[in-house]
Structure 1
Amino acid sequence: MLGLWLGAASLFLSPQLETPMPPRLMPNEAQRPAPLRIPRGRQTFDAREALNGSTSSRRRCTDVPDAYWVPVRGGGACIRTYPAGNPRAGGTMLVYLPGDVLLRGRGGVRLIAGSYARRSPADIRQEMAGWSRDGGTPAIFLARPGLYGSSGNHGARRRLDEVRLVDGALDRIKARYRVSRFILAGHSGGGHLVAALLDRRRDIAGAFISSGLVSAAEVMRAYQKRRGPDGGPVEGPAAVYDPIAHVGGIPKPGPDIFVLSDPGDRVVPFLSQRHYVERLRSAGLHPTHILLRGEGRTRHLLAEPLKAGAALYARGEDAAAISAALRAMAPLPPVPEEVRN
């Protein structure tokens, strides 16, 4: 009887009390992928789709604006992009790779960051138009598999297939716009992809990585230790593609590499980022490591300085000028000597 009363009472709840719970998956709950949606204009992205994954086909992909079908072993994915500016043959293009949106709550519950479902294709196009103007060069947002209109499974992030899909999408972008070089910028999980591409491509002029999972196996071990036995499953260190293990394959003299970090980052351990920079230097490369203050309580968000730095690089500024501009933009309080060295 009480259950019937509660069911009837719910019909009279005010709109403020009817806000639906965000979609989530329990630790052992299977994903339920569905056919890829195609949001346009101000239509927002679907958090449920990002959580469960989506499917597509080569034919379906032809209906998706500015998208490319990229095959990989055992299948493929429709990778959507959001271009801005006017590319010219032989020119350079800015490429942005966004961070992860999949979160793990208490007990390993999986959910999607609330900001994801508030974004739309129009928002991304506006963002890329501004970035293109700032850099004086064409820019493009490359939607990672399973996110922002691309098919695939964001739950399988950080794996070799994700690297291969993004690598293949860059090949198709290069062929379509006839550009010769890329300036890659990736935040967090997008930074993992930028680092993973450095030894695979020879057309990267500059690489900007902020708060990146560049020492992915080390980060997975840190996550396992932090969450403990009751924190839910974490990708095993051996399951992820680890960019730091492939530093030796980066061509020399190599692209200009900028790594942006906050020593107080509570999401991706700072030491894992510093170890990556040290490995680059040991391999004879010359990365620029810029210490900044990330936004928010976690001090992890450095996407805006990342894009600003890449835009300055596109305009021809050198490492010293870029470092100074970004430190003025997101100043870090004095850092202890043992962290700085």
Structure 2
Amino acid sequence: MLHLIRSVLVFLSFPLGLNDALSADPRLGPFEKPRPKQLAVPLGEETFGKYEALNGAIGSPDRCGEIPDALWVGADGEGECIRYYPQGLQASNSLVLVYFGGDVILRTRKAVRFVSDLYAAQSPHSIGADMAAWGEEAGTPAVFLARPGTYGSSGDHNMRRMPREIALMDGALDRLKARFNVGAFVLVGQSGGGHVAASLVNRRDDIAAVFISSGLLSVKRAMRAWEHRRSIPGRLLYDAAAFYDPIEDIEKIGREPAPAIWVISDPDDRVVPFSTQLHYVRRLRAAGFAPHHVYAHAGDARRHVLAPHAKRAAALFARGGSERDIRAALHALDIDNLERD
């Protein structure tokens, strides 16, 4: 019966023929299967393609070996080519900043999937410039690590939040650590990238600090809140039980010493419910950790984009800034956003 319901909803809600590699704005129906292509390799100012982000891309070890700043990483018996965009890395690095971007696949009210224009405007050059500025601010090497299926990495972004995505990012950090002799990482993640960062803190003992902005930290609670946001119930769109939920493994976070954990939230966030972010912080405190929870003001209409806050805080941490320094800098960013409202 569930299969029949899905079939009818697909037929009624999605105009056919929009998931075309030649389309400037490809779309995927609520339950339409992606049609991945061979991995494209944008270089320099070549922008990233919407079709690849929406449908996924297929990589191979040989192909990956030809791509600048790429790692072939295995998970669950299969591999993906994971691109990274570094600035300032040396032969040996005591501390490295790593950034995980948010989700790039969005859904309409009818649950049709699409990729934002902002994603398609970015390029390896623009990401590199952003990392260069961030690394200079921090006085520390900075790396943008591309999640599977996005920003030049192979894989399927439709499968985000699954344990395999976390395993691939974990393996990529292992490869970076070995290749560049990294002592410790500072992780930064916005929204869905915050889910990745929080998940990795549960697995690794080389994280000095994590800065999570507007993060998807209590996945199952967020999915319940999202259940009726669209005309198709969420339970028909995804199996939330299959997602990795970082809040369920908080006890695995290292304690000798524990990483500094900063959660930055806008109480009026219209994407990831504030209550789910607060729940994560409370669970951390109940487990004996001492997270910093900063209430901030995002400058976008949906009160969600706080990546500049997280990057600024991480840069100050890397320079040895105090909690007071970090909070003062974040307050200054809030004032800037309020003045632009």
Instruction: Indicate how the Cα distance of structure 1 residues 229 and 31 shifts in structure 2: closer, same or farther if over 3 A, else same.
Output: closer
Question: Which of the numbers 309, 313, 319 marks the counterpart of 1:315?
Answer: 319
Q: Does 1:79 align with 2:54?
A: no
Shift of 1:237: 2.3
TM-aligned CA deviation for residue 90 of structure 1: 5.0
When structure 1 is superposed on structure 2, of 96-105 and 245-254 the one drifting more is 245-254
Identity level (%): 50
Would the aligned equivalents of 2:96 and 2:185 in 1 still touch at CA under 8 Å? yes
Q: What's the counterpart of residue 275 of structure 1?
A: 279
Question: TM-score w.r.t. structure 2 length?
Answer: 0.89
Report matched runs for 1:148-227 at 5 Å: 148-227=151-230
How far apart, CA to CA, are the structure 1 residues paired with 2:141 and 2:68? 17
Question: Is residue 97–residue 143 contact of structure 1 (8 Å, CA) maintained in 2?
Answer: yes
Segments of 5+ residues of structure 2 without an aligned counterpart are 1-21
1:87-112 alpha-carbon deviations (Å, 9 max, x no partner)? 35251000001000100012110000
2:297 alignment partner AA: R
Relative distance call for 1:36 and 1:282 in structure 2 (3 A) is: same
Q: How far apart are 1:235 and its partner, in Å?
A: 2.4
How far is 1:227 from its partner?
Answer: 2.8
Which deviates more, 322-331 or 183-192? 322-331
Equivalenced residue count is 316
CA pair 331-282 structure 1, distance change in 2 beyond 3 A: farther
8 Å CA contact 1:27–1:232 kept in 2: the answer is no
Work out whether 1:236 is the aligned partner of 2:250: no
Partner of 2:334: 330
Name the SS for the 1:227 alignment partner. Answer: coil
Query: Which of 25, 30, 35 is the aligned partner of 1:27?
Result: 30
Shift of 1:128: 0.5
How high is the TM-score relative to the length of structure 1? Answer: 0.89
Distance 1:305 1:196, change over 3 A: same
Question: For residues 199 and 186 of structure 2, what CA distance do their matches in structure 1 show?
Answer: 14
Q: Which runs of 5+ in 1 are unaligned?
A: 1-18, 335-341
How far apart, in 1, do the equivalents of 2:299 and 2:235 lie? 27
Letter of the 2:334 counterpart: A
Distance 1:197 1:73 in 2: 17
The residue number in structure 1 matching 2:11 is none
Deviations 1:51-94 (A, max 9, x none): 00000011110011100000111311000000001435251000
1:106 has 2:113 as partner: no
Partner of 1:65: 68
Counterpart of 1:44? 47
Correspondent of 2:301 among 292, 297, 300: 297
Q: CA deviation at 1:130?
A: 0.4
User: Highest Rg: 1 or 2?
Assistant: 1
Structure 2 Cα separation of the partners of residues 139 and 100 of structure 1: 20
Q: Which one of 140, 145, 156 corresponds to residue 143 of structure 2?
A: 140
Quote the Cα distance in structure 1 between the aligned partners of 2:235 and 2:39: 28
Other structure's SS at 1:308 match: helix
Partners in 2 of 1:104 and 1:232 — Cα distance? 15
Residue aligned with 1:115, SS: helix
Alignment of 1:252-271 (within 5 A): 252=255, 253-271=257-275
